[in-house]
Amino acid sequence: MRGQTAIAGLGITEMGKVYGRNVTDFAGDAIALALDDAGLEKSDVDGLLMNANHSPEMAPMLQLSLGLEDLTLISAMNGYGSSAGTMLQYAAHAIATGQAGVVACVYADAPLSQGGSISQSSYSGRGIGSDTGFASLRFAYGDYGPANTSYALACRRHMHLYGTTHDQLGTIAVGQREWAQLNPRAQMHGKPMTLADYHDSRWVVEPLHLFDCCLVSNGAVAVIVTSAERARELRQPPVYLLGFGQAAPGDNRRAEREPAVHTGARRSGELALRMADVALEEIDVLELYDCYTYTVLVTLEDYGFCEKGEGGAFVEDGKLGPGGSLPTNTGGGQLSSFYMWGFTPLSEGVIQARGQGRERQVPNHDLVLVSGNGGTLNWHSTTVLGAAR
């Protein structure tokens, strides 16, 4: 599969507090932008993969709403934030085996409403009383609402085991905000942040500050996948799909396992790098799923950039930010750019691999590693993108 397929088109809508549009509107715009980016027509599309999410619109009926005809591949897929990598893998196999020729992969959502709050959005999570029996005991300990509580527990465990500090987590947040200042699309563009600002931000769920947590966005991202040969004839530089990996370690709540400290990122990374036939040291740019600062830190450890427990010390010199030795989440990521599940790191990975990052462009960008994460670090995907086949 290495290099047989490529991303030929990328479409990103306006992001953030964009009101008056539904999920179908955003999805249609993103696909249209991606097709125009590639120099293709709607009639060229014979495959549609949707990242199913909280919106009922992200389902096979989307094909009819968008007026796509004569498809030979269609599916609504959901591995939560790991879905983008899984969708690329599925699209690549379909193209390589002749089941489809041009596959549109799309994520769209509109959880924000004018005058509403994030707590009222589709990410409001588990409500008190929504579980019964033993499953309801978690509410007595405050485990309800958005996913913040589960990630807070994981982060606190890492701090307890390894001495990870808020200064170290804050360095991740500040570095990504610095990248966002170089990205006009970023929701936090024009809003710089210092480490003091990070510490002063309110608690969401201890030990997570507000700036440890990702944004919430209305919008959509789409990519067009086709064969490597066809991609080379189209409008944009091809971004080759070199390697894929998935891993779902499962969480059976057994005391001897810590799936939020030792995550599936390790296995998915090993699989993707092996398929791409590249070493970790050869990776030029990292685009890591960053629903929380802790997610970045633990993913770096599990990919093998440092030993388990050394992630805090590894990042504290600012190496992930602009000018650092390991450029990571170069558009600002989900913490400071926009939140489109796994399509946030994927979209920036495509931009960097093409060399189209403008002010934030990383000079060396031959190999880009993109991660995805779903649930509370339950499902993982890794994709290696290449500027060359």
Lookup result for tokens 């479409």: 11
Residue 211 carries which side chain, given as an amino acid letter?
Answer: F
Per the structure block, which two tokens stand in for 317? 């010199």
Lookup result for tokens 């919106």: 55
Question: What angle, rounded to 10 degrees, do the helices at 148-162 and 293-303 form?
Answer: 50
Q: Is 78 exposed, middle or buried (0-12, 13-18, 19+ CB in 10 A)?
A: middle
- Separation of alpha carbons 221 and 106, rounded Å: 6
Question: What angle, rounded to 10 degrees, do the helices at 293-303 and 265-276 form?
Answer: 50
Pick from 75, 91, 73, 78: which is nearest to 4 by CA?
A: 91
Determine how many CB atoms are found less than 10 A away from the CB of residue 20: 8
CB-based contacts of 95: which residues, under 8 Å, 6+ apart? Answer: 4, 5, 47, 101, 103, 225, 226, 227
Q: Determine how β-strand 219-227 pairs with β-strand 5-12.
A: antiparallel
Which H helix or E strand runs over 269? helix 265-276
- Separation of alpha carbons 361 and 358, rounded Å: 5
Lookup result for tokens 């091809």: 238
Residue 84 carries which side chain, given as an amino acid letter?
Answer: A
Question: What angle, rounded to 10 degrees, do the helices at 83-96 and 343-354 form?
Answer: 60
Catalytic residues: 289, 339
Query: How many Cα atoms are found within 13 Å in the side-chain-facing hemisphere of 189?
Result: 14
